[in-house]
Every structure is written in structure tokens, then in C-alpha cells.
Structure 1
Amino acid sequence: MTTAPPPTTAPPPARGARGVRVRLAAALSDPVLRILVTSTAVGRIGRGVFLAVTVLYFTRIVGLSAGEIAVVLTVSAGLGVAASAITGHLADRISARRILLAGMTLDGVALVAYAFAADFWAVLAIGAVVGVAESAANAARMAIIARAFDGPRRVSARAILRTVTNIAIAAGAAAGGLALLADTGLAYRAAIVAAGLVVLAGVPIMRGLPPRVDAPRVVPAAPAADSAAPTADSAEPTTAAPATPVVRRASPWRDARYLAVTALSAVFGMQFGLAEVGVPLWIAHDTSAPTAIVAALLILNTVIVVIFQVPLSRGTHDVRRAGTVTAGAGVLMVLACALYAGAAPVVAWLAVALLIAAAVAHAFAEVMSQAGGWGLSFELADPRAPGAYQGVFSMGFNLGAMAAPIVVTAALGLGLAGWALLAVVFAASALGTTLIAWRSAKGLDAVDGRVSAA
């Protein structure tokens, strides 16, 4: 029977005032994490450039309407949902490395193709490819993390990658701002081509991943019945060697607990849509705060994520702690909703103060919910099928992201009552996740107790 390779040991996280730079430097001492971090940093710079210019490029240069852009994003997200589950399943049977490389390559080529799109149908076709490619790459990357690191190191590696992602996207967005300043078709197209090429530049780096991050090859045993059958020349049947038992592959679709955690995490994940869509609309239409505060709040969010994602992710490989951290995220999201709502009926300076306080609570809720979700997604998954489980979890996140703009805008259309509704939704999803985590921890404790007694 083939055994899985030993997990890679990542360096311990830095503490105290040594900060983000020291933690990232320590991460680079591990070969697998070094490759993931370096390739992610390069690729996400390209993604940041694209995100900075894409909406204005579609509207001002290609000539798409807001409705057409919404259709493109919805179709892209919908296909990404399916791609996450399918490619996660394939990552356990083919090769997570090959899927990751194919997804990154296709993503980069498709981004370059956007520069040559002339109408809605071309953009829609390219958007469909981008949705599939990016989701496939993300699912494969999560499968690699699940297989390459042990319990506490998985969440740490995921947190480090998210920190790098935020830094890289911010840097790319700043570079993309040059095209916005020029505000010409040539500048937009040049920026988009550059974005795709930078994404492609991360592919050769990822080729350095060792084969051990893939699933071990399973060789089916020959049937024992044929060798045990008597022959004409033998008086007695030959005794056959015992065959290696065939273990049924685990499936997340038969794991009700994992599906429940995935669904609840997807619901709480709509907080990203709240930050990206709901809050800017609320500030512009329902508060007296200057619209420039939107950019300041996004910068504040990025700073908090970069500084605190790794420290606040420590220990969430423990299922009970992951549940507790998620509960804290729920409390903070309720507070954030109350503060956002309170910014509506007050004067400008007080509205700004309340919005900043809300954004801080929201950012910490985001950091904590991600840490808890990663811990549960790794630790509650069956280790025999990490790709399939991570694919399903990614699919849930994509579903939440797809539904978020509709749900958030509909809720905020109700005014203060909408904020109350959102607070209840976030609190319920966090509480449900916490209860499942605590119950699962009790079950794991009981199993550990029986093993120790034996």
C-alpha cells in the first residue's frame, strides 16, 4: 500500500514587533511555501493591475452597459462554482500541480485576450474562461496546501498567502492607476496585456513544486479469486496472498457536517460583497460622509488584513478554537452593521467616525472568519480526499460571492431594517458554524480518549 509523503514543515510564525516582513521571510525558508508565496506574489500583482482598470475599460472603451457587466460577472462566477468542485475532485485523481499550472496559464492568456475584445459576446466568452481558470487554480492550490502541510501549518500557510495576496493586489492596483490617469484606449489595453503577462510570469515559478504535493498513486490489487482457484495439476487449491483492500474514496458530498460548514461559511462570506458593493453605495446615497472615505476604508481594510491575518490565524487548526474565533467574527460583524447603520442620520464628521469604527470591526471580522473557516475546512475534511473537500469548500465560497451583490443591495434597499437583517444573517451563520465546530471537537476528544486508553 502506498503511503502519503510526510507533510512539509513550515517555519513557525514570527511574534511581536518583528512584523509582517519577518514572517514572510521565515516562510521563504520552506521550499513548498516559498514557491507558493513567490508565484502568488507575482500573479496577484497582475490581478491587481487588471482589477484597477477592468470596469472602466469595459464601460469606456468596449462600451458595455452596467447590466452587461453584471451578466459577465455572474456567468463567470457561476462557471467558477462548478469548476471549483470538479477540479478539486480531479486534483485527487490526476495531479493538483498540473491543474494549477493549467489554470494559471489559461487565466493569464484569457486576461490578455480581454485587450482584443470588441463587444459584449467576446467579453462574455473570455469572462467564462477566466471564471473557470481562476477557480480551478484556486481549488488546486488549496488541495496542495492541504496535502503539503500538517494541521497547524496549513492555516499558517493559507494566512501567509492571503497576506501576500493583499500586498500584491494593492501594488498592482497602484500600477494600474497609471492607465487610469492616461485614460486612453491604448493605456487601458496596454495595462490589461501587462496584467496577463505578469500572471503568466508566475507559472514557471510554480513548476518547481515537488511531485509529493500530489495525491499518492493508488495501484489496484489483482483479484485473489483467480489465484486461489484449483488447477488440473494440483490436488489442492493454491493459497493466494491477501490482496490489498480497496478503500472507498471519501466524498464531501456524503459528509453532511462538512457541507453544513461550507454553506454557513459561504453565507458569512457575503461580508466581502458588503464591503465591495454595499458599503460604497450606502456611503454615497445614505450618509453625509464624503465619497472619498470609500478609498480610505479599503486601504484601512488592507492594512488590517496584512498585519493581523497571520497572528490571528494561530491555533485555528484546533477545531474548538476555530469555532470560538468564528463566534468572535460574528459578534464583530453585528457591531459593524450597527455602526454602518448609525452613520446615516448624523452629521458628516460623526458619520466618518462611525464608518471608520465600522470598517475596523468589519476588517477584524473578516480576518477572524477566514482564519476559523480555513481551520475547519482543513481539519474536518477527510484526509483521503483533500482536493475534493477543498474544491467543495471553494465552491461554497464562490456561491456566496455570486449571491452577495444581490442579497446585499436588496437588504440595504430596506434602510436601517436591512442592516438589522444582515446582522441577524451574519450572527446566525457564525453561531451555526461555532456549534458544529464545538460539537466536532467533543467527538474528536472522545476518539483521542479511546485511543489513549487503548
Structure 2
Amino acid sequence: MTSHDPDPDADQTAPAESTRGAKPGLLARMSASLSDPVLRALFTATAVSRVGRGVFLAVTVLFFTQIIGLSAAQAAVVLAVSSGCGVVASFLGGWLADRWSARRLAFTFELLGGLLLAAYAFAGDFVSALVLASLGGFFDSIGHSARSAIIARGFAADRRVHARAVLRTVTNLSIAAGSGFGAIALALGTPEAYRIVIASAGVVCALGSLPLLRLTAAVDAPARARVGQVRTETGSIDTDAAAAALSERRDWNRRSPWRDPRYLLLTVLSAVFGMQFGVAELGMPLWVTENTDAPEVTVALLLIVNTTLVVLFQVRASRGTHELRVAGRVTMIAGWLMVAACLIYALAAGLPTWAAVAVLVLAMVAHTFAEILSQAGAWGLSFELADQVRAGAYQGVFGMGFSLGALASPIVVNATAITYGFAGWAMLAAIFLAAAFGIWVIARRAAAASAPLAA
């Protein structure tokens, strides 16, 4: 965790004695990372598109309920269906990225997704909002899976997790900035303001797809021979080449992630631990407002704490997690931190206002470091345990599992912590710890199995 991979593009000149021990700051480290053209293109695309997404996240629910006139239940249905479409699209995007150009898929579907977000501005009822949300969620998830395939193929093994960490950092910064722009519509409160801001956000998301055009064919899957297209110069089928192509196809099918029980189990357990995002998005706000004496503004304070810590520590915490044992170890640490976070959240109930706020901040710090470490571990394992021949399909399956976890998290969090209080928080803590332990076992066994091969 404390080791630092040398940057091959860094200046090789020896530093002066007075600065030899100095560590570069966050911005300096990010700038050094962007010497890689693939990461630079992904970074730019992410920075632009996530600003638009931040605007959209800030105003969507209120636009549905206050401007269009949907009920809270209808708004929930729209968002749930959008997430459900994303589950299917996650696998489909990875599957397509193994067969066609991942960069073109990412560009096309992220462009379409942005335009659909802009079209929200013209929604006027439940049906139109539902259709736009479904298509938007579907296209956005396909584009996201194609990006994961690009990362799997566009970087060396020891740089993939670093790339994901850099992109997650800029995602948090951009969404925070976008949320600030979204506040303009919230402050004005008029239908025109909402529609202009939403249309602008969609256009910004669409513009974020343009840097993906700078990616080269090196990030695409290698071309595969087609059995019926293997012909000699005279036009007859080359039987030897056709047999080889048929054998390649059979080998291709055998490499499906659906035939890899270890990876499927990793996906399920990672999805379970991924429900910790539901704790931050649903459980924490409801717990703060309904079960503690902390003021409602505490929710915003805790989210600021979360975003700040992710920006400061995600890249640093991701070092070395391309190694299986390290990835398993940081995931286990994340499990114990999540146990601590759940129990500390629960303790905030019944405390005086100042004490409740202090305890909630402490819980969020533990929760955020659990999030940071679990993401780093999940990225490392999802890349290292995947078959690189089918990198797109593997990343699609992993993304689909995460989407399923996101769908389940509101139900699970409400059925445990919000319903049963301290006992419910303890149930959640046990769930997270069990998932982390299972991931740790998978990583440990995979490392042990790969050791003889490396010897």
C-alpha cells in the first residue's frame, strides 16, 4: 500500500537535495498520469460528461415532482426502471465491446445518452419521463461497459487500477461542480430554469463523448477470423484455416464469464458490498433526519466529507491493488471499516445535537475509507481474475452485478437499518463483513494458485 510504482514518463533528472524527500501533490500526480494518451482521452471525456451528470443528479427528482407533477411513487418507478435497464445494458455493452470497436461503442452510446438527458427537458408526463429514463439508462450503461473494456485493454496490468482511481477522482470533482450549477435551477425554481439547466446538462454530457474519438484501435478487441470468410485466392474455402477459425470460436465460447464460477462469485460478493453506496445515498439521509437530533444540513456536510476524502485518497489507496493478495487485504480492511461505520451511525440516535453531528462525521469517515478501499480491491480483482481474451464480457458481467446491487440496496437498507434501528445496523454490518471475507478468500486462493505459475 505504501509502495509507489515509478512513472516511466517522469523526469529522470535527480532532484535537488532540498526537495528529494518531497512528495508531489494531488494535482501534480494527476498531471503526471495524463502523459498517457489513453488516460488523457478518458480523463477529458469523464471530466466533461460528469459535470453534466452532476447537474442532472441535483435537479432530477425535484423536476419530476415539482415541474412535471409526478408523485413520489412515480418518480421512484422512473428511476428504478432506468436502473433496471442499466443492468441488462451493462452485460450487453461488454459483450459488444468484444465483437466491435469499444471506442466507437463508447462514443456512440455516450453521445446518445447525453442527447437523451437533454430530451428530459421536454418531458411532460409520467410516460415520457419513463421512456426517456429507460433509454437513457440503457445507453449510458452500454457506454460505461465499453469504457471498462477500453481500460482493460488500454493499460498494462499494473496501471489499470490506477487509471480507474484517477477517473473516479475526476468523476467526484466533476459531479460536485455540476451539482453547484444545478443549484441555479433550484434557486430560481421556475419550469423554464429547470428545463434550460437540464437541456444544457445533456448537451454537456454529449460533448463529453468527443474526446473518445482520439482513442486508437489499440483499445479495441483483436479481430477474429470468421469460419465462412476464410477463403483462398481462388475463392474456395481454406479448410485448414476454417478449422482453425472454428477452433478459435469454440475456445472463445469456453472463455465466457458465465462459465467462470470464481468470477461470478466475486461479482456477487462485490455487488453485496457495493450496497454500501445505498447506505450513503438512502440510509444515512433517512437515519439523520428521522432518528437523530442532528440538523438536516448535516446530510450535506457528510456528503462533502465523503467527496473530499475520495478525491484526496482514492488514487493513493489504489496503489498495488493489481496484486491479488493486496486487493484481498484492502477489501478485508474495508469490511471491518464498514462494520465500524454501521455501528457508529447507529450510536448517533438519541445523542445531543453536537454529539450526534460529531458521531455522524466519524461514521462517514470510516464509511468513506471503506468505500475507497473496497473500490480499489474490486477493480484490481475484476481485472486480474478476468480472461483478457473476453475482457469486455467479463467487465460487463461485473458491471451488471454492481447494477443489481444498486437496485437491491434501497430495499435491504430500508429493511434493516431504517426498520430495526441498532439491530438493523448490526445486520448490515454482518452482511458487509461476510461479503468482504468471501472476497478475501477468493483473492487469497487465486494468489496461491497463481504463485506456482509465476515461479
Structure 1-normalised TM-score?
A: 0.91
**Residue number in structure 2 paired with 1:363:** 368
**Alpha carbons 1:155, 1:313 under 8 Å: kept:** yes
User: Shift in Å at residue 116 of structure 1?
Assistant: 0.4
**Alpha carbons 2:227, 2:242 under 8 Å: kept:** no
**Alpha carbons 1:270, 1:404 under 8 Å: kept:** yes
**Residue 316 in structure 1 maps to residue 321 in structure 2:** yes
Mind listing any 5+ residue stretches in structure 2 that lack a counterpart?
A: 1-6, 11-20, 233-238
**Residue 448 in structure 1 maps to residue 435 in structure 2:** no
**Residue number in structure 2 paired with 1:205:** 211
Question: How far apart are the structure 1 equivalents of 2:277 and 2:244?
Answer: 47
**Residue number in structure 1 paired with 2:393:** 388
2:39 to 30, 33, 45: 33
Deviations 1:234-254 (A, max 9, x none): xxxxx9799646331110000
**Alpha carbons 2:82, 2:134 under 8 Å: kept:** yes
Which deviates further from its counterpart, 213-222 or 387-396? 213-222
Deviations 1:139-177 (A, max 9, x none): 000000000011110000000000010000001111111
**Residue number in structure 2 paired with 1:252:** 257
**Residue 330 in structure 1 maps to residue 335 in structure 2:** yes
1:297 to 302, 308, 312: 302
User: Shift in Å at residue 221 of structure 1?
Assistant: 6.6
Deviations 1:379-412 (A, max 9, x none): 0000110000000000000000011111111112
User: Shift in Å at residue 37 of structure 1?
Assistant: 0.1
3-state SS in 1 of match to 2:140: helix
**Against the structure 1 CA distance between its residues 240 and 339, is the aligned structure 2 distance closer, same or farther, given a 3 Å change threshold?**
closer
1:103 to 86, 109, 129: 109
Question: How far apart are the structure 1 equivalents of 2:197 and 2:372?
Answer: 31
**Alpha carbons 1:300, 1:360 under 8 Å: kept:** yes
**Residue number in structure 1 paired with 2:66:** 60
Deviations 1:216-263 (A, max 9, x none): 112247899x9xxxxxxxxxxxx9799646331110000000000000
**Residue number in structure 2 paired with 1:44:** 50
**Against the structure 1 CA distance between its residues 223 and 179, is the aligned structure 2 distance closer, same or farther, given a 3 Å change threshold?**
closer
Question: How far apart are the structure 2 equivalents of 1:47 and 1:145?
Answer: 21
Q: Say which one has the larger Rg.
A: 1
Which deviates further from its counterpart, 91-100 or 154-163? 91-100
2:408 to 396, 403, 407: 403
Question: How far apart are the structure 1 equivalents of 2:57 and 2:445?
Answer: 41
**Residue number in structure 1 paired with 2:14:** none
Which amino acid counterpart does residue 360 of structure 1 have in structure 2? Answer: V
Deviations 1:194-227 (A, max 9, x none): 0001011112211111011100112247899x9x
User: Shift in Å at residue 120 of structure 1?
Assistant: 0.3
**Alpha carbons 1:269, 1:400 under 8 Å: kept:** yes
**Against the structure 1 CA distance between its residues 16 and 242, is the aligned structure 2 distance closer, same or farther, given a 3 Å change threshold?**
farther
**Residue 71 in structure 1 maps to residue 82 in structure 2:** no
Question: How far apart are the structure 2 equivalents of 1:348 and 1:118?
Answer: 42
Question: How far apart are the structure 1 equivalents of 2:453 and 2:71?
Answer: 57
Question: How far apart are the structure 1 equivalents of 2:199 and 2:320?
Answer: 41
3-state SS in 2 of match to 1:94: coil
Deviations 1:112-153 (A, max 9, x none): 110000000000000001110111011000000000011110
**Against the structure 1 CA distance between its residues 291 and 379, is the aligned structure 2 distance closer, same or farther, given a 3 Å change threshold?**
same
2:127 to 118, 121, 134: 121
**Alpha carbons 1:19, 1:307 under 8 Å: kept:** no
**Residue 436 in structure 1 maps to residue 442 in structure 2:** yes
**Alpha carbons 1:309, 1:367 under 8 Å: kept:** yes
Which amino acid counterpart does residue 299 of structure 1 have in structure 2? Answer: I
Question: How far apart are the structure 1 equivalents of 2:242 and 2:206?
Answer: 49
**Residue 184 in structure 1 maps to residue 185 in structure 2:** no
**Residue number in structure 1 paired with 2:95:** 89
**Residue number in structure 1 paired with 2:18:** none
**Against the structure 1 CA distance between its residues 242 and 345, is the aligned structure 2 distance closer, same or farther, given a 3 Å change threshold?**
closer
Structure 2-normalised TM-score?
A: 0.91
**Alpha carbons 1:10, 1:149 under 8 Å: kept:** no
Question: How far apart are the structure 2 equivalents of 1:10 and 1:421?
Answer: 46
Mind listing any 5+ residue stretches in structure 1 that lack a counterpart?
A: 1-8, 227-238, 450-454
**Residue number in structure 1 paired with 2:167:** 161
Which deviates further from its counterpart, 195-204 or 319-328? 195-204
**Residue 172 in structure 1 maps to residue 178 in structure 2:** yes
Question: How far apart are the structure 1 equivalents of 2:72 and 2:295?
Answer: 24
How many equivalent residue pairs? 429
**Residue number in structure 1 paired with 2:235:** none
User: Shift in Å at residue 26 of structure 1?
Assistant: 1.0
User: Shift in Å at residue 18 of structure 1?
Assistant: 2.3
**Alpha carbons 2:111, 2:207 under 8 Å: kept:** no
**Residue 353 in structure 1 maps to residue 372 in structure 2:** no
Deviations 1:25-46 (A, max 9, x none): 1122111110000011000000
Question: How far apart are the structure 2 equivalents of 1:435 and 1:192?
Answer: 45
> In percent, how many aligned pairs have the same letter?
54
Which deviates further from its counterpart, 428-437 or 200-209? 200-209
Deviations 1:394-452 (A, max 9, x none): 00000000111111111121111100100000000000000010010000002222xxx
**Residue 21 in structure 1 maps to residue 27 in structure 2:** yes
**Alpha carbons 1:92, 1:387 under 8 Å: kept:** yes
User: Shift in Å at residue 17 of structure 1?
Assistant: 4.5
**Residue 419 in structure 1 maps to residue 415 in structure 2:** no
Deviations 1:313-353 (A, max 9, x none): 00000011100000000000000001000000211111111
**Alpha carbons 1:81, 1:398 under 8 Å: kept:** yes
**Against the structure 1 CA distance between its residues 240 and 300, is the aligned structure 2 distance closer, same or farther, given a 3 Å change threshold?**
closer
Q: CA RMSD in A?
A: 2.2
**Alpha carbons 1:10, 1:153 under 8 Å: kept:** no
**Residue number in structure 2 paired with 1:3:** none
